[in-house]
Structure 1
Amino acid sequence: MTKNQCEQMDESFGWDVRQNIEEIRANVKEAVQAAGRAEKDVALMAVTKTVPPERVNVALQEGICLLGENRVQEICQKAAFYRASKDKIHFIGHLQTNKIRDIIEKVSMIESVDSLHLAQALSRECEKRGMEMDILLQVNIGKEETKSGFYEEEVLDAVERIAKLPGLKAKGLMTIPPRFSGTLYFEKMQELFLLCKEKKIEGLEFSVLSMGMSDDYREAIACGSTQIRLGRAIFGERPAAKPH
């Protein structure tokens, strides 16, 4: 599909996206008011896994300020069709070190730095290219075996070590807590985020607490999230995987 074809399809694919975004914004407004916060303090990210570019472009037209990409191969295929520069694109999926070179010039932040090994590899690649990359540390706040990330008790040491790595700018924390856990883990993340900020570690510029997805973004906002990551709530259910 060409760029022009994508643009022509934007309107026909976008009516539900617009409705969904309008509803989400109303919910966000209600949540921030209840928490005594301002709407401007919560960024809305559209998670674009498996979503066709024409639907993503509708979200951008509606003022969505950030896109979250989960897969290296997918962003490499779709980025040219987006009506967005790389400063609006973050990588939020699991990143293997051998894929760093493929992604590093296509995004403005990597939110899923889940180990010192990955941080060190990113730092080396940034040094080679004479560039800086904003990152978030991914926290496995529920200590789930199926998820990667730093455990709560590891975060402060990791932050101090990563803050010393050239080419990286640690901007905050990201998490995907256990499903249907209420506010328990969001509250833990808020405490951890504030603790990191209070340490005033040299080279650290913490401003982002990325948590809250389609099922729990209201609760995340109540617990201080500065960025919510919504896929299904914006674009609808993803198509079922085809059987092999």
Structure 2
Amino acid sequence: MPVDIAQYQSVLQTLSSSHTTLVAVSKTKPAADIQILYDLGQRDFGENYVQELTEKEAILPKDIRWHFIGHLQSNKVKYIAPFVHLIHGVDSFKLLKEIDKQAAKCNRKINCLLQVHIAQEETKFGLDEQELSEVVAALDTLQHVLVKGLMGMASFSNDTSKLREEFRTLKSLFDRYKNTQQPWSVLSMGMSSDYTIAIEEGSTLVRIGSLLFGAR
């Protein structure tokens, strides 16, 4: 299925009133599809796999803001450190330290989001509240990482009240910590199936793939 331009424009219209950023999730999709949205003005794209991201970054326009939204392994950080705009799924202080180390080698600061486990499914990654508190307390030991906020994935469910409860949990944690270091500005929650609910609950950034690019 080709890129759904009408759907893209519809999503942008939904987001415009809330000043929410759209990250177009382009994982497994060809560079040509990304170029179509780029030509329409889209600049934020999300990828899940390091090798795929580095291959696309090499051939696509250099002003794209690449978001790494998958589960990042420490030994892969070095491949995306030179260019990545925002790493979403940081779920351990160990990973943060590696990002800090690789960012220093590139003489830059890398923006990150701390991933919090809010879903009731055990398969999702993320920090619990205690772990989040400990990581936040240690952020001032890192010189080349800028934590910009939080990210979370709600349960895969049609139960709207359940989704709202999970998003509200994340929003409350965001509000608790947002002024601890530099002010946090990014609350990344909401995907193709639940982004409108996430926006209503305070999301500032949504990650949308299948609505724009079709099912994988």
The residue number in structure 2 matching 1:17 is: 4
Percent of aligned pairs sharing the same letter:
35
- What is the identity, as a one-letter code, of the residue corresponding to 1:127? A
Distance 1:143 1:215 in 2: 17
Q: Is the 8 A contact 1:209 1:224 kept in 2?
A: yes
Number of aligned residues: 212
Give the one of 48, 52, 56 matched to 1:70.
48
Q: Is the 8 A contact 1:17 1:55 kept in 2?
A: no
The residue number in structure 2 matching 1:195 is: 176
Structure 1 residues 65-123: Cα deviation after superposition (integer angstroms, max 9, x where no partner): 3101110010122222323425x111111111111111111311111111011011111
Give the one of 166, 176, 192 matched to 2:143.
166
Q: What is the correspondence of 1:1-244 to structure 2 with a 5 Å cutoff?
A: 16-28=3-15, 38-39=17-18, 41-86=19-64, 88-142=65-119, 144-180=121-157, 181-197=162-178, 200-202=179-181, 204-238=182-216
Q: TM-score, normalised by structure 1?
A: 0.81
* Cα RMSD after superposing both structures: 1.8
Distance 1:49 1:83 in 2: 17
Q: Is the 8 A contact 1:110 1:136 kept in 2?
A: yes
Distance 1:82 1:76 in 2: 10
1:163, distance to aligned residue in structure 2 (A): 3.8
Q: Is the 8 A contact 1:46 1:68 kept in 2?
A: yes
Structure 1 residues 10-43: Cα deviation after superposition (integer angstroms, max 9, x where no partner): xxx85x42112022234435xxxxxxxx44x200
Distance 1:66 1:201 in 2: 27
Q: TM-score, normalised by structure 2?
A: 0.91
1:184, distance to aligned residue in structure 2 (A): 1.1
Structure 2: give runs of 5+ residues left out of the alignment.
none
Change (3 A) 1:69 1:163: farther
- What is the identity, as a one-letter code, of the residue corresponding to 1:190? K
The residue number in structure 2 matching 1:32 is: none
Q: Is the 8 A contact 2:7 2:211 kept in 1?
A: yes
Q: Is the 8 A contact 1:17 1:58 kept in 2?
A: no
Structure 1: give runs of 5+ residues left out of the alignment.
1-12, 30-37, 239-244
Distance 1:174 1:132 in 2: 19
Q: SS at 1:182's partner residue?
A: helix
Q: SS at 1:90's partner residue?
A: strand
1:144, distance to aligned residue in structure 2 (A): 3.6
Distance 2:180 2:11 in 1: 36
Distance 2:120 2:105 in 1: 34
Distance 1:141 1:160 in 2: 20
